[in-house]
Amino acid sequence: MPNETLLAWAFAGAVAVHNLEEALWLPAWSRRVEDRWRRPVADGAFRFAVCMLTAFAAALVVLATATHATIWWHLVAAYALGQALNVVFPHLIVTIATRSYAPGLGTGVALVLPSAIAFLERGFAAGLLRLDAFLVTTALFVPATVAAIPALLWIGRRLTA
């Protein structure tokens, strides 16, 4: 198995563990630290959303490793950068601002950040990723993913009500 494939799966696994930490503890935490910027999230709706985001990460890795098409590798890379940014904002910033551990920070720092960086470094070094394609893909993918979160929470509320 090439290093890129192994690192892509390590990244997807890190996302799964990170999302599990969030699914277990973030809804209750969100009710304790609610303020005018952060709204509490319902357990079922949030868990549905993170399950879908986890499945999406795995699906991208499956498509990348099965087809070897550059678009899928660039989408995995965009997801990796998005998740690396997610460690800083909101997790680190919110932890500092609220003086309360934001669920997901530990697994973000320990697993997501290193696996995302390793995948990106290896992908560029191996020529699997091109900077121009990565920048365009990321510029489209990251905002689309962030925009999808309210829709996923809405669907989750409907399914778990």
pLDDT at 1: 52
pLDDT at 24: 98
pLDDT at 33: 86
pLDDT digits (tens, 9 = 90+) for 43-71: 999 999 999 999 999 999 999 999 999 99
Residue 10 CB coordination number (10 Å): 17
Contact 16, 115 (CB under 8 A): no
Exposure b/e, 85-115, CB count within 10 A at least 16 = b: ebbeebbeebbeeeeeebbbbebbeebbbeb
The token duo for 48 is: 């549905």
Contact 123, 75 (CB under 8 A): no
pLDDT at 39: 81
Q: Is the pLDDT of residue 37 over 70?
A: no
pLDDT digits (tens, 9 = 90+) for 84-135: 999 999 999 999 998 999 999 999 999 999 999 999 999 999 999 999 999 9
At 65, give phi and psi (nearest 5°).
-75, -30
At 91, give phi and psi (nearest 5°).
-55, -55
Residue 158 CB coordination number (10 Å): 10
Q: In the chain, what are the domain boundaries?
A: 3-160
The token duo for 96 is: 């500092």
The model's pTM is 0.95
pLDDT digits (tens, 9 = 90+) for 66-93: 999 999 999 999 999 999 999 999 999 9
Sign of the alpha-carbon torsion through 104, 106, 112, 113: positive
